[in-house]
Amino acid sequence: KQEVTQIPAALSVPEGENLVLNCSFTDSAIYNLQWFRQDPGKGLTSLLLIQSSQREQTSGRLNASLDKSSGRSTLYIAASQPGDSATYLCAVKVSGAGSYQLTFGKGTKLSVIP
């Protein structure tokens, strides 16, 4: 059974700092990996999607990497801003019989202090 772990559970940084969020998964037979953002009491917003054949994806100040063999992904946020404060969720889509299912981590709650 696929398990997704995100470390740290919470992170507080001063504005302007670069930061890295970590995600690990137990089964490397994934189809893709997604990073989402969730604001309090809101739905999820997709940030980046990395296919299993890709190593990284970039969008603006965000860069996500994927190392499938080691079961790890990182989300790098450059020059953090208070508006980046939210919970960041990592999710993997398994291949094979369970290919419809996204398995989520519990998230990292990020606070960017002005």
Give the footprint of another protein on this chain (CB under 8 A). Answer: 4, 31-32, 34, 36, 41-46, 49, 89, 91, 93, 99-107
Cβ atoms 50, 73 nearer than 8 A? yes
Nearest distance in Å: CB 17, another protein: 26
Nearest distance in Å: CB 89, another protein: 7
Nearest distance in Å: CB 31, another protein: 7
Which CB, 68 or 93, lies closer to another protein? 93
Which CB, 96 or 114, lies closer to another protein? 96
Which CB, 14 or 43, lies closer to another protein? 43
Spatial neighbors of 95 by CB under 8 A, at least 6 apart, are 29, 30, 31, 52
Which CB, 79 or 106, lies closer to another protein? 106
Cα separations (Å) of 71 from 21, 28, 106?
14, 6, 16
Spatial neighbors of 43 by CB under 8 A, at least 6 apart, are none
d(CA 105, CA 36): 10
Structure tokens at 34: 């997604």
